[in-house]
Structure formats: structure tokens, C-alpha cells
């Protein structure tokens, strides 16, 4: 098994050189962990592409790019990690991780019936829904206003508590009043799509903030932040994990949205991309067109292909591959639809079926998340500096969407956390673990404890997805 050297490579501070159209040696990008040895994308012998000036626009060997570490969907279904071990044997639990809503209900179930009968007699009218009674009791427990509905005792006594939980735990309590709605890309208007890519391009054209060394523009501030934090927010392997990955990237994408709004005048709803419906056909996806993110080319003579059309035509990056800096190069793609096919409903359902946060987290990080990166290829396959390709944000908006969908399956998934805060010894991840954002969006982005970013409708956030 090849392990990533990119996470721990020393920063290279070579003298600045003029931007160029050809790509870099892919070996410089390094790689992240994979269950197999093949590269994320296979090379194809095709003619060189030309940029608008007629110059060759060519990357170098894809085999040297590496790939984001992944497991195949069939292995994920069997709970296998990169070494063939079961995910459940990982050292994921620490002090204070046993308490959850189910444990509380098991102890308090008799009180639910007693309190329901008490409320029924006090209010003197019939119940309509059992979940309203439990919501009432849990509301008192969780600090929510008492509801007015109660149920008749014969209905209550015959209604299984487990069935109540299935209904109740799909609800949020104390949600923000007017959440921002994130709309799926194909539900977005043409005007909204144009405004979104224009706002991202605005960041590319704006000067860097000066807070992030080696960044050459405001967009690159985000690339540099991710590059700098990569060793702490990605797992080394499935047996040495940090479960901050989903939480950190949730905050990171939200921060990106704030900067788009505050610095580039973006006033529309935020989009997200339903990636699973394009599995095996990313190049046909409606985001990858000349009107928006540019087309998704395959390799060029087994090399990455520079972006030469769309809103980000000719986009350069000064950061990466891996931890390198002061290294201007074109942002490259090299789609492999055999890999994108692994981002579909099969992986989605496999991950949603996981019952604990660490198991769900591991499934997401090493299945469709990894293969979404690898399938786009080249810059996106470099786990360290992959935000250099603006497609990164659409990919991670989908990852956050799936995270939110999983959380809706149980209230405890939105109120408790467990797992490892570090990938070098498993310091327990708790609600008080701090997530750092480097002040990327100023006062809007303070370093926050997990409890403030675990829920999208409470704490620091106020957004949800349109479905």
C-alpha cells in the first residue's frame, strides 16, 4: 500500500517563476491513501489540446499524481477499511461518548407515559399524535416549549417507543427561524448559476488578503488554508483517523459562502450539486459546461489537461502540488468515469446506513468523497491543494448535503459526537473540540467548538438543503 508523503512534505519555497500554461510533473502532487495501487485516472493517447494562443496546454504523467485514498463500495458495505479490517475495531470511543438520546429514553420511557397521562388530564382533550406527547416530554428535557397535543392513554400504551423515535428524531428542535436554502444546481436558474461562477471568478481576480503566506489572490487564500491544515483535517488511513474531516469542511464551505457574499456581492441562494446522479458521467454534468465550470476533459497523452474554457479558463495556481508553494501552474483535470461511477447511489446508501458518527464519517471520507476527487482527476486528486479547482466546492457541498441527510436520521446525530480529534493517537472528539478556520472570513469565522457547527440550523449556522 502506498502512503501519502504529501501530507508531511516540507514546504518548498523556490523562487517565483512566471506563470505558464503547461502542467507540472504530476509526481510533485503526491498522493493520498488508496486501497489499490492503480492511479486515479488512466492515461489516454490523444492529441495535444491548444489554448487560445495556440500553445500546447499539457500536464505531465497522471501516474505520478496519486489519488485520494479510497475503498471500493463493495468493501465499504462489508465495513472493510484500507487494510481489510473492520471499521468497528477502530479506537473511536473516548470518555463521555456513551451518553445519547436512546440511552436516556431507555431509562425514562416509563416517565413518558406517566407525563403524557398527566398532561392529558390537565388539558382535558384527546391526543392526535403520539409523537406530540413525546415531543412535549422531550421538549421539557431539551428546553423546548410544551406542545398542546396529547394522546389517549390506550393509544399511548399500544404505541411502541421505537416507532415514536423514528418520527420524533427526524425533527429538529429550536431551529433558526429563517434558514438560507441551498438549492440543487439543476433547480438553480441560469441567472443564479452565472452569478455564482462570476462571484468565484471575482475572488480569483481580487488581491490576496495578506493573511495567508504564498497566496496570490483572494481565492488562493482558501487553497492555502486547506493546504496548511490538511495534515490535521484528513485521516492518514482508516486506522489512523481524524473525525474532524466532515465538521471542518462544513465550516470551510460555509466560510467560502460568506466571502462570496461580503466581498464579491453574491446575493443569491447557495447551490449544491447532487453528484450521485452523475456517477459514471461527470463529463456530462450540467456544472461542467463552457458556461460555468468549464468542460471536464480526459488526460492529454496520459497527462493532466489545463482548464481552457468556461468561467475559469486559464486559471493558474501558485500552490501545490502537495505542500509546495511559489509554484505557478495551470489548474488541471483528467476525468476517469470508471472512478466517478463509484460516487453513485450505492455508496450514498451504504454510508447513510451507518449508525455511528465515526463509521459514517469513515465511509464518506473513503468512498464517494475520495472517488469524487479522483474521478475529476489531476488537481482534484491532490488531497492537499485540491481547492485549486473551483469544482472542489461543488463536490464538498454535496458531501455536506449527505452529512446533513444522515444527521436527520436521529436527533442524537445532531446533538452528540464521538470519534478521534487527532490522527496520531485518537484524542477523543467531543462537543468542546475546537475547529479552527484561520480567520478566513474575519469576525464571521472565529475558531469554534464542535457544538457550534454540528447542526446546520443552530449554533453558528442557519441553512438547510432544498431536499
Between residues 208 and 112, the one the model is more confident about: 208
pLDDT band, residue 61 (cuts 50/70/90): low
- Is 392 in contact with 456 (CB distance < 8 Å)? no
Q: CA-to-CA distance for 433 and 338, rounded, in angstroms? A: 38
317: three-class secondary structure by DSSP: strand
- Per-residue confidence at 25, pLDDT binned at 50, 70, 90? low
> Three-class SS of residue 57?
strand
Q: What tens digit of pLDDT does each residue of 252-297 get?
A: 999 999 999 999 999 999 999 999 999 999 999 999 999 999 999 9
pLDDT of residue 80: 58
- The Cα–Cα gap between 333 and 328 comes to 16
Cβ neighbours around 15 below 10 Å, total: 5
DSSP 264-280: H---SPPEE--GGGGTT
pLDDT of residue 68: 65
Q: How far apart are CA 183 and CA 163, in angstroms?
A: 31
**CA 386 – CA 136 distance, rounded (Å):** 47
Domains of the chain: 11-55+65-95+178-465 (1.10.1280.10), 101-168 (no CATH)
Cα–Cα distance between 295 and 310 in angstroms, integer?
7
Other CB atoms within a 10 A radius of the CB of residue 143 amount to 9
Largest CA distance in the chain: 83
Summarize pLDDT for 126-170 with one digit per residue, the tens.
334 444 444 444 444 333 333 333 333 343 344 444 444 444 444
Q: What is the band of 303 on the pLDDT scale with cuts at 50, 70, 90?
A: confident
**How far apart are alpha carbons 310 and 376 in whole angstroms?**
16
Tens-digit pLDDT profile for residues 201-232: 999 999 999 999 999 999 999 999 999 998 88
User: Under DSSP, is residue 47 helix (H, G, I), strand (E, B) or coil?
Assistant: coil
In tens, the pLDDT along 365-404 reads 999 999 999 999 999 999 899 999 999 999 999 999 999 9
Lowest mean pLDDT among 68-77, 324-333, 423-432: 68-77
**Among the listed residues 451, 384, 58, 406, the one whose alpha carbon sits nearest the alpha carbon of residue 233:** 384
Provide the mean pLDDT of the chain.
Answer: 75
In terms of C-beta density within 10 A (0-12 exposed, 13-18 middle, 19 or more buried), how is residue 442 classed?
Answer: middle
Residue 218 belongs to what H/E stretch?
helix 218-233
Q: Which residues contact 297 (CB under 8 A, 6 or more apart)?
A: 49, 283, 305, 333, 334, 335
Vertex 285, ends 279 and 289: CA angle to 5°? 155
Pick 331 or 50 by higher pLDDT.
331
Amino acid at each position: 500500500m502506498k502512503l501519502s508523503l504529501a501530507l508531511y512534505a516540507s514546504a518548498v519555497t523556490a523562487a517565483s517563476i512566471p506563470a505558464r500554461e503547461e502542467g507540472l510533473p504530476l509526481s510533485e502532487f503526491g498522493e493520498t491513501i488508496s486501497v489499490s495501487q492503480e492511479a486515479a485516472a488512466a492515461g489516454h493517447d490523444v492529441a495535444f489540446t491548444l489554448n487560445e494562443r495556440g500553445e500546447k496546454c499539457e500536464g505531465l504523467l497522471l501516474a505520478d499524481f496519486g489519488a485520494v485514498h479510497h475503498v471500493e463500495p463493495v468493501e465499504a458495505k462489508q465495513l472493510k477499511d484500507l487494510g481489510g479490517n473492520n471499521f468497528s475495531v477502530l479506537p473511536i470511543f473516548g470518555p463521555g461518548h456513551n451518553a445519547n438520546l436512546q440511552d436516556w429514553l431507555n431509562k425514562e420511557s416509563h416517565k413518558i407515559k406517566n407525563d403524557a397521562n398527566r398532561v392529558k388530564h390537565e388539558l382535558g382533550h384527546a391526543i392526535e399524535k403520539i409523537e406530540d406527547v413525546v415531543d412535549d416530554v422531550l421538549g421539557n428535557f431539551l428546553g423546548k416549549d410544551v406542545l398542546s397535543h396529547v394522546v389517549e392513554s390506550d393509544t399511548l400504551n399500544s404505541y411502541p417507543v421505537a416507532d415514536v423515535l423514528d418520527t420524533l428524531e427526524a425533527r429538529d428542535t429550536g431551529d433558526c427561524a429563517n434558514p438560507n436554502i441551498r438549492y440543487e444546481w439543476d433547480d438553480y436558474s441560469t441567472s443564479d448559476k452565472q452569478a455564482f461562477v462570476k462571484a468565484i471568478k471575482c475572488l480569483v481576480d481580487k488581491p490576496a488578503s495578506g493573511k495567508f503566506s504564498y497566496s496570490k489572490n483572494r481565492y488562493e487564500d482558501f487553497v492555502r488554508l486547506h493546504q496548511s491544515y490538511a495534515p490535521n483535517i484528513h485521516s492518514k488511513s482508516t486506522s489512523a483517523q481524524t473525525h474532524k474531516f466532515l465538521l471542518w469542511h462544513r465550516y470551510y464551505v460555509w466560510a467560502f459562502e460568506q466571502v462570496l457574499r461580503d466581498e464579491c456581492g453574491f446575493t443569491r441562494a447557495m447551490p449544491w450539486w447532487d453528484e450521485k446522479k452523475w456517477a459514471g458521467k461527470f463529463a456530462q454534468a450540467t456544472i461542467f459546461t463552457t458556461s460555468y465550470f468549464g468542460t471536464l476533459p480526459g488526460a492529454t497523452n496520459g497527462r493532466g489537461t489545463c482548464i481552457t474554457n468556461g468561467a475559469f479558463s486559464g486559471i493558474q495556481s501558485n500552490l501545490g502540488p502537495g505542500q509546495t508553494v511559489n509554484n505557478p501552474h495551470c489548474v488541471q483535470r483528467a476525468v476517469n468515469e470508471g472512478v466517478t461511477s463509484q460516487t453513485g447511489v450505492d455508496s450514498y446508501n451504504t454510508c447513510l446506513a451507518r449508525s455511528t458518527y465515526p463509521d459514517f464519517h469513515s465511509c464518506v471520507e473513503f468512498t464517494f468523497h475520495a472517488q469524487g476527487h479522483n474521478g475529476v482527476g489531476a488537481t482534484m486528486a491532490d488531497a492537499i491543494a485540491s481547492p485549486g479547482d473551483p469544482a472542489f466546492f461543488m463536490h464538498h457541498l454535496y458531501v455536506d448535503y449527505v452529512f446533513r441527510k444522515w444527521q436527520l436520521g436521529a436527533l442524537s446525530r445532531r446533538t452528540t459526537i464521538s470519534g478521534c480529534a487527532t490522527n496520531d493517537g485518537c484524542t477523543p472528539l467531543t462537543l468542546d473540540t475546537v475547529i479552527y478556520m484561520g480567520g478566513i472570513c474575519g469576525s464571521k469565522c472565529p475558531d469554534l467548538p464542535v457544538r457550534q457547527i454540528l447542526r446546520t440550523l443552530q449554533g453558528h449556522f442557519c441553512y438547510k438543503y432544498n431536499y
